[in-house]
A = this chain, B = another copy of it.
Amino acid sequence: MSEDRVYTAAIVVIGNEILSGRTQDLNVSFIGERLAAQGIRLHEVRIVRDTFDAIADAVNALRAEHDYVFTTGGIGPTHDDITSEAIARAFGIPFGRNPEAEAILRAYYNPADITEARMSMADTPEGAELIDNPVSRAPGFRVENVYVLPGVPSILQVMFEGLSGSLAGGKPVVSKSVAANLPEGKLAEPLRAVQDEHPNVEIGSYPFFKDGKLGASLVMRSPDAAEIDVVAEKVRGLIRDLGGTPIEE
């Protein structure tokens, strides 16, 4: 663990079902929040189609730029599950049956339920390190800084939690959020002044539209909890000065 440098991560979401609008992704927000707690900042997400090129290109672009890349989806037994082979292609390494993964699946299924499709979930890039799946057994895997995880949120979450402690990170980023019943147009100028006074605290302003009125959530993020408290107090003060009411979120 180093508190000195900034650790960054990216996610590649594999899934035509997300792009078609049929399914709402829930994994990005889960992973983003958990990474922040471990001092790792999620800097980019790409949602790509289920094609070898789309997956490999995204993984290769992002693994060169970030400490960690997580992929979600496409590691099941059906014809559209091509993530594992796409990762092998991205790294240019052979793809085939992983003996350790095969043993896990053979121990889990009744012999009558062992199909070639199911055993295909034991195929990984050569030399991949398995990631344990305590829910439905079919493992994820890691190749260098790329972590390959399933798309089903309940399973992904358990597997991701299992990685905790194995990821090197910096000082956790903490956040505080204060909502204002005022439009951003009123808040903008004093808020910029507070941001200028505290360059180490990232202040985000996120408008919302509720009951026909515009308001804004003002979110402060930094590894320095004490400075966040100072900034939050200034933000509450500027909301009151403008005739509004700060609401803790």
Chain A residues close to B by CB (< 8 Å): 13, 16-26, 28-36, 41-50, 54, 76-81, 109, 113, 115-118, 120-121, 135-136, 150-152, 154-155, 173, 175, 177, 184-189, 191-192, 195, 202-209, 214, 216, 219, 221
Contacts of A188 in B (CB 8 A): 76-79, 115, 117-118, 120
Whole-angstrom distance between the Cβ of A70 and the nearest chain B Cβ: 13
**A152→B209 contact, CB < 8 A:** yes
**A184→B45 contact, CB < 8 A:** no
Q: Which one of B21, B35, B191 contacts A79 once the chains associate, using CB atoms below 8 Å?
A: B191
Contacts of A41 in B (CB 8 A): 19
- Taking the full assembly, how many copies of this chain does it contain? 2
Whole-angstrom distance between the alpha carbons of A177 and B8 in the complex? 37
- The residue of chain B having its C-beta at the shortest distance from the C-beta of A194 within the complex is B79
| 12 new A-B contacts at CB < 8 Å, known A25-B25, A115-B185 | A18-B28, A21-B28, A21-B31, A21-B42, A43-B54, A44-B46, A44-B49, A76-B184, A79-B188, A115-B186, A135-B209, A151-B206
Whole-angstrom distance between the alpha carbons of A9 and B185 in the complex? 32
**B78→A209 contact, CB < 8 A:** no
Contacts of A118 in B (CB 8 A): 185, 188
